[in-house]
């Protein structure tokens, strides 16, 4: 071997020794896949990228997370089963899309007056920790969060129950119950299907949190918002149990340490982003925000009141103490209020 070859060899050897040391100590990074159902710019994916960044940073590069927004790895309704089967290590799901499957945690989607996404997210996590529902027995729950309170976005102005009567509006889970009680015709579908349904006129609007006016550009088609500030949508981020059990203890500790912090971060992001999105909608599309008159609001509230009692009766039929669940949600709301 001549001198030049020897120098080259030394350089290559040195590079091999130095490169991994720069990223993390020992072995290749642990790769994890993270599936999500809506487009990358929407809040479930914004929180996913934040979680990825924090986990990679806090584990010193020991873990590398590959994110798949837009249903490219698992779709909205396939999320939990896909994660249980190991098609993705981690998945983000909206519980409203399978209401019967998540009875306990979906109780946060009742019209109980959760004031914002920050409170909702912490209350949902509190409820999960207390009840440890069977629905999540086959996964590790990494975090939970909620949307902001929901409002009606529509192509036509809605100022009264009469305007709403029989109108095809999209809403799932708790939001669908609210729409039905108000006399609208609820049409259930996951959020990613809504742009086409609005475009084709299959629905005339939707009940969801208002940041979608900007993030899905719904403001272009829905020039009216009727303020209801009702039912939130609950979400969960879950991990395959084998993937979880394979993680080193220090990595698990980082993820567990992020659980409540991530819920609160996502809630705060959502609350801020709703305000931003509505300002944008008013400026860009002259969206009209309709506030119900006090008399009209009384009529709407009266229609919504039986929902909780009806849910409690339904829970009892399934062997759940719905009364206790609702009382716990109210207590957690008081505890988490700011």
Minimum CB separation of residue 286 from ligand 3IO in Å reads 23
Residues 6+ apart with CB under 8 A from 58: 254, 257, 258
* 267 lies in the site for ligand 3IO, by CB under 6 A: no
H/E element, 237? strand 234-240
Choose between 289 and 327: whose C-beta lies nearer to ligand 3IO: 289
Q: Which of 34, 43, 218, 224 binds ligand 3IO (CB under 6 A)?
A: 43
- Please write down the long-range contacts of 17-25, taking CB distance under 8 Å and 24 or more positions apart: 23/61, 24/59, 24/60, 24/61, 24/62, 25/60
Q: Which of 105, 106, 108, 209 binds ligand 3IO (CB under 6 A)?
A: 209
Would you say 68 and 35 are in contact if contact means Cβ atoms under 8 Å apart? yes
Which of these segments, 61-69, 207-215, 260-268, 307-315, binds ligand 3IO (CB under 6 A)? 207-215
Q: Cα separation of 166 and 336, whole Å?
A: 37
Name the nearest CA neighbour of 307 among 179, 116, 210.
179
Minimum CB separation of residue 94 from ligand 3IO in Å reads 4
| CA atoms within 13 Å, Cβ hemisphere of 274 | 20
Choose between 186 and 322: whose C-beta lies nearer to ligand 3IO: 186
Whole-Å CA distances, 197 to 13, 139, 202, 287:
59, 33, 5, 20
Among residue numbers 243 through 262, which ones bind ligand 3IO (CB under 6 A)? none
Minimum CB separation of residue 81 from ligand 3IO in Å reads 18
Q: Cα separation of 266 and 50, whole Å?
A: 9
* 94 lies in the site for ligand 3IO, by CB under 6 A: yes
Choose between 128 and 244: whose C-beta lies nearer to ligand 3IO: 128
* 177 lies in the site for ligand 3IO, by CB under 6 A: no
Minimum CB separation of residue 189 from ligand 3IO in Å reads 8
Q: Which of 119, 147, 226, 262 binds ligand 3IO (CB under 6 A)?
A: 147
Would you say 83 and 90 are in contact if contact means Cβ atoms under 8 Å apart? yes
Choose between 63 and 222: whose C-beta lies nearer to ligand 3IO: 222
* 153 lies in the site for ligand 3IO, by CB under 6 A: no
* 233 lies in the site for ligand 3IO, by CB under 6 A: yes
Residue nearest to ligand 3IO (CB): 208
Beta bridge partners of 93: 236
Sheet-wide strand order for 168-170: 185-187, 168-170, 205-208, 150-154, 224-230, 288-290
| Contact footprint for ligand 3IO (CB under 6 A) | 38, 42-44, 94, 96, 147, 172, 191, 208-209, 212, 233
């Amino acid at each position: 071997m001549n001198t030049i070859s020897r120098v080259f060899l030394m350089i290559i050897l040195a590079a091999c020794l130095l490169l991994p040391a720069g990223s993390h100590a020992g072995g290749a990074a642990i790769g994890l896949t993270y599936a999500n159902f809506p487009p990358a710019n929407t809040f479930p994916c914004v929180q996913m990228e934040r979680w990825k960044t924090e986990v990679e940073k806090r584990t010193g590069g020991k873990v590398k997370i590959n994110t798949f927004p837009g249903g490219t790895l698992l779709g909205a309704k396939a999320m939990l089963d896909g994660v249980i089967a190991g098609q993705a290590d981690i998945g983000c799901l909206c519980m409203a899309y399978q209401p019967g499957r998540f009875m306990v945690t979906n109780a946060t989607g009742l019209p109980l007056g959760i004031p914002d996404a920050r409170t909702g997210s912490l209350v949902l996590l509190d409820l999960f920790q207390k009840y440890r529902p069977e629905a999540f027995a086959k996964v590790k729950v990494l975090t939970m969060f909620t949307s902001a309170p929901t409002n009606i976005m529509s192509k036509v102005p809605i100022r009264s129950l009469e305007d709403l009567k029989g109108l095809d509006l999209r809403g799932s889970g708790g939001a669908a119950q609210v729409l039905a009680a108000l006399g609208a015709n609820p049409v259930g579908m996951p959020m990613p299907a809504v742009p086409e349904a609005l475009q084709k006129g299959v629905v005339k609007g939707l009940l969801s949190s208002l940041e979608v006016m900007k993030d899905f550009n719904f403001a272009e088609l829905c020039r009216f918002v009727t303020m209801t500030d009702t039912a939130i949508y609950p979400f969960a981020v879950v991990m395959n149990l084998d993937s979880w059990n394979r993680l080193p203890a220090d990595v698990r500790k980082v993820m567990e340490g992020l659980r409540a912090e991530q819920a609160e971060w996502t809630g705060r992001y959502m609350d801020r982003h709703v305000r931003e999105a509505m300002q944008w909608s008013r400026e860009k599309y002259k969206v009209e925000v309709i506030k119900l008159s006090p008399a009209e609001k009384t009529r709407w509230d009266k229609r919504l009141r039986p929902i909780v009692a009806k849910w409690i009766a339904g829970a009892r039929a399934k062997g759940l103490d719905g009364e206790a669940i609702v009382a716990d949600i109210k207590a957690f709301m008081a505890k988490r209020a700011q």
